[in-house]
Structure 1
Amino acid sequence: MKIYIRHIRAAGYCRKEGVKPFFDAQKWDWPDFLANGIDADIVEKTNDAMALKIVEIAQAEEDERRKEANSRA
């Protein structure tokens, strides 16, 4: 599962003052993230409460997508 900028926005986090500095501290590639997302496992390994909230949002989206796909089948 991937984390995308939409998940960060859904969490209500500020890119400039919070998320971008967090990415920099982790030495993650911000432009690559914006283009391709980042694996949720990588984000989860930080054990950062705010990062884990983003993973939860992405997981909920994934669960909803699967639920919809199963209801169509």
Structure 2
Amino acid sequence: MRVTVTHLHSVPTWTARQGYCHRATRAFFERHNLDWLEFVRNGIDEEALTATGDALALRLVEHAREVGDGQ
């Protein structure tokens, strides 16, 4: 499955706000040698995010699976 920026914006968080912060997500992509601009344009395969083992990335993948493509 492709995880998209729409999923990033709609993932429930631990605060009253919805979605993950772009600044922090860009830093995450840089730390894990993932292409931020490619993600924004076309999404990213869930396997690339799960391979990081990061709890927030895993939650994002889980959310994407729950809502699917029909945001």
TM range (shorter): 0.7 to 0.9
Task: Indicate the structure (1 or 2) with the bigger Cα radius of gyration.
Answer: 1
Q: Greater RCO between the two (CA within 8 Å, min separation 6)?
A: 1
Structure-1 residue corresponding to 2:65? 59
TM-superposed deviation, 1:20? 0.5
Secondary structure of the 2:34 match is coil
The structure in which a higher percent of residues are helix is 1
Aligned-CA RMSD value: 1.5
CA distance in 2, matches of 1:39, 1:7: 12
Count of equivalent residues: 63
1:19 to 20, 25, 41: 25
The percent of aligned pairs where both chains have the same amino acid is 35
- What letter matches 1:50 in structure 2? L
String of CA shifts for 1:13-68, please: whole Å, max 9, x gaps.
1111x100000111111111111110001101111110011001110012x86xxx
TM-score normalised by L of structure 2: 0.80
User: Structure 2 matches for 1:41-60, cutoff 5 A?
Assistant: 41-60=47-66
Q: Unaligned stretches of 5+ in structure 2?
A: 12-18
Secondary structure of the 2:41 match is helix
